[in-house]
Amino acid sequence: MSETPVTSATHSRRGRIRRLVSTACAALLAVTVTAPASTAHADAAGTRPVITANQTGTHDGYFYAYWKDMGDSTMVLGHQGQYSARWTGINNWFGGKGWATGGRRTFDYCGTFHPGGNSYLALFGYTTNPLTEYYIVENWGTYRPTGTPMGTVVSEGGTYDIYRAQLGVGSTPYFRYYSVRQQKRSAGTIDTGDHFDAWAQAGMRLGTTMGYMIMATEGYQSSGWSQVTVDGTPTGPARCAPSRT
């Protein structure tokens, strides 16, 4: 993420997406990734893993991912789909919980999001063949993501603006797709199929192989904190009461 999407974001994200793809492709073969003891430890209560270094893995039934380049960021993994995050003076970081393989899915989420600058609360995922990043942005801080306007999509009580941005340099450029909600929210229902279909109708094709998909907090040259719960279980008691506004 960046105040100028085609400049610093291109460089900071390019390194991340290369590492992300190589790491997550391994995760598709062996979903659980064990972090070194020095980079994942329990909180004071001894029950919640504290993540401070780049890794992916599974925790209490959900996939998680964490990445940063420079700065101070911490993600604490709570029960099932819950996590909390805090970042201070970060250059670029993201983390969250979701699924090892993305796809068409309807799920609820809820949380608290306090961006102290340029930050997103968004569903993040990617595909390969070809490489593509995608975001369904629910809330943001001082910068609302943009790109080439490609239309709108109405889904789960809200209207989203669709954008396409080309990233990368040389012979291996790739695309990032955005659906950005016109009204911010920090709780609700996301139907990824609505967005996938709208992107396809706009000529924005995803790759044939799905990588992971997480409800992410992301910060770029900012500070802030969040507490997020992903409620992706179709059976059992609901853990979120989504707001439609």
At 20 the pLDDT is 54
| DSSP H stretches of helix in the chain | 8-29, 192-201
**In this predicted structure, what is the pLDDT of residue 34?**
33
Cβ atoms of 81 and 99 within 8 Å: the answer is no
46-50, 199-203, 206-210: least confidently modelled range: 46-50
Asked if residues 3 and 143 have their Cβ atoms less than 8 Å apart, the reply is yes
Q: Is the pLDDT of residue 5 over 70?
A: no
**Alpha-carbon gap, residue 206 to 183, rounded angstroms:** 25
The overall pTM is greater than 0.85? no
Is 156 catalytic? The answer is no
Of the two residues 63 and 3, the one the predictor is more confident about is 63
Mean pLDDT value of segment 91-113: 97
Q: How many CB atoms lie within 10 A of CB 242?
A: 17
| 160-197 residue pLDDT tens | 999 999 997 766 889 999 999 999 999 999 999 999 99
Among the listed residues 3, 138, 156, 218, the single catalytic one is 218
Q: What is the pLDDT of residue 17?
A: 52
Q: Which residue has the higher pLDDT, 157 or 39?
A: 157
* CATH superfamily label, 8-231: Glycoside hydrolase family 11/12, catalytic domain (2.60.120.180)
Reported as a single tens digit per residue, the pLDDT across 11-36 is: 344 445 544 554 443 333 223 233 33
Look up 3 and say whether it is catalytic: no
- Please check the confidence at residue 86 and state whether its pLDDT lies above 70: yes
The reported pLDDT for the residue numbered 83 is 97
Q: Which helix (H) or strand (E) holds 111?
A: strand 106-116
Report the chain's mean pLDDT, rounded to a whole number.
83
Distance CA(57)–CA(64), nearest Å, equals 5
pLDDT in tens, 227-242: 999 997 766 677 776 5
Highest mean pLDDT among 2-11, 22-31, 45-54, 206-215: 206-215
Average pLDDT over residues 143-151: 97
For 114, other C-beta atoms within 10 Å of its C-beta total 13
Domain ranges of the chain: 8-231
